[in-house]
Amino acid sequence: MPSEPLHRLTLSEAADLLHRREVSSVDLTRAAFARIAEVEGSIHAFLTLTEDLALEQAREADARIGRGEATPLTGVPGAIKDVICTKGVRTTCGSRILEPYVPPYDAAVITLLKEAGLVMVGKTNMDEFAMGSSGENSAYGPTRNPWALDRVPGGSSSGSAAAVAAGMAHYALGSDTGGSIRQPAALCGVVGFKPTYGRVSRYGLVAFASSLDQIGPLTRSVRDAALVFEAISGYDARDSTSAPLETPRIADSLKVDLRGLRVGVPQEFFVEGMVDSVRSSVEAAIQQMEALGAEVDWEVSLPSTAHALAVYYIIAPSEASANLARYDGVKYGFSYHEGESMWENMEKTRQHGFGDEVKRRIMLGTYALSAGYYDAYYLKAQKVRTLIRREFDAAFQTHDILVTPVSPTPAFHLGAKLDDPLQMYLSDICTIPVNIAGLPGISLPCGMMEAPDGTRLPIGVQILARPFDEASLFRAAYAYEQATDWHHQFPPL
């Protein structure tokens, strides 16, 4: 048996013990639920727990391991963001309007994980319909940061990040529309990876903004993220935006040498108001990459980055207003029945079913798409989106990766930005351009900041690569991680 508690193991460490028969999947699963019983009451990372299902899957995994048919994920407990459809298990998207919804099918990524030997401990809490940067927009109450229970874990994949950080799951799936994997990963001190748009099927991902959404893993190490990425990526004909490419093999070829890697540092990402500790930690991370042999260019410029926030908050709400029109209370989900007409029932269904942030974004999107405003807002935003993508393309002509901050601040206090949506939106200023351009991006721990009350708060660094060049991204992330100790930090719960 390992010397440290099972819940503190990385996915890779747990898989190694399983394959050597030093622990069983049932042991790991029971340890995960013991940890959940210990800390979930303080954190609220889950909306649905699936203990019976997980133990059944664990027993199947142990039998599979015994037959020599295991993959690196077989039998290792994981968690799934509640925006991803799971057959027979409630999927709410953190919204009252889907509170009773139980999907009749699995998302593509769930099918792939089941083939790999999934043990699902539960569905994680999230900002409603993935709209939020703090985890406070869930209709079922906020998730709290395991490092400081009075602070946010980031969003919208708040529960997934908190569950992994607190040791309640060895890995989790999240979704990333404007930073919703990378930002909570940074604030919770874990690894969060958003693949290139089109690399992972969106079939069964409940849509927020279809041209921006992408599924990815949250883990305790870079290699773990690569293993989950390999398991869930690949072409899917059911997703019209899925790229017809082979699944990359990355995890077993990771090295600690960065000689010859060309690193660019876009100055526009070091925004005004960035906390000094964040700036210095990210700069120290880049210097560490330089010490590992990378060639660093500190003077990269992406001038249109300043417009990314405005572009995102036109395109994303516009797509959301179209995608969320299906929630009318007629076929599934919450339905209001006390009105005098069908139209009143439909109106009241949305009034009571959607939260304030979702309503705000639906209205923004409907306005941007309306007659007389489409050209001025939506069409212009799409043109600027093209400029942003072209600037990234130009930067990648001379650089293999770009390195930036993830969030301008560490985790802030619960409630601190709820009354100021613009300040909340600014939390994603470093991550949004990546979704607009469809790039792969990873967040990994690079430092800690001590708050005035003595609380230690994680800081993350973001690494970006050209589309479908996840190998360069993981190469840099792994080499940096192995040269530092930040990924070994664990919250003092």
Q: What is the pLDDT of residues 114-146, one digit of tens each?
A: 999 999 999 999 999 999 999 999 999 999 999
How do residues 377-410 score in pLDDT, each as one tens digit? 999 999 999 999 999 999 999 999 999 999 999 9
At residue 372 the predicted structure's pLDDT band, cuts being 50, 70 and 90, is: confident
Q: Which of 25, 95, 134, 180 is catalytic?
A: 180
pLDDT range class, residue 323, cuts 50, 70, 90: very high
Q: Are 162 and 422 in contact (CB under 8 A)?
A: no
Residue 225 CA to residue 249 CA, distance in Å, equals: 12
pTM greater than 0.95 (yes/no): yes
Strand partners, 411: none
pLDDT on residue 1 = 59
For residues 156 and 178, is the Cβ–Cβ distance under 8 A? no
**Per-residue pLDDT averaged across 453-477, rounded?**
97
Transcribe 101-167 into DSSP letters: ---SS--HHHHHHHHHT-EEEEEE--SGGG--SSS---TT----BTTBTTB---SSSHHHHHHHHTT
The span from the CA of 129 to the CA of 152, in Å, is 18
Residues β-bridged to residue 448: 458
Model confidence pLDDT, tens digit, residues 409-422: 999 999 999 888 87
Question: From CA 200, how far away is CA 390, in angstroms rounded?
Answer: 23
180 is catalytic: yes
Cβ of 386: how many Cβ atoms within 10 Å? 12
> What is 6-257's CATH topology?
Amidase signature (AS) enzymes (3.90.1300)
Integer Cα distance of 179 and 431 in angstroms: 5
Alpha helices in 292-379 (DSSP H): 308-323, 342-353, 356-369
Q: Among the options 81, 123, 194, 417, which is catalytic? A: 81
Q: Known catalytic residue: 281?
A: no
Dist CA 340 CA 356 (whole Å):
25
Q: Which residues are registered as beta bridge partners of 191?
A: 219
**What is the 8-class DSSP label of residue 376?**
I
For residue 370, the tally of other CB atoms under 10 A from its CB is: 12
Tell me whether residue 359 is one of the annotated catalytic residues. Answer: no
CA distance 140 to 46: 10
Distance CA 123, CA 388 (A): 35
Query: Contact, 433 vs 305, CB < 8 A?
Result: yes
Contact (CB, 8 A) for 404 and 430 = yes
Domain residues of the chain, as ranges? 6-257
CB distance 476 to 289 below 8 Å: yes
Q: Which of 95, 134, 156, 472 is catalytic?
A: 156
Mean per-residue pLDDT of the chain: 96
Query: Per-residue confidence at 73, pLDDT binned at 50, 70, 90?
Result: very high
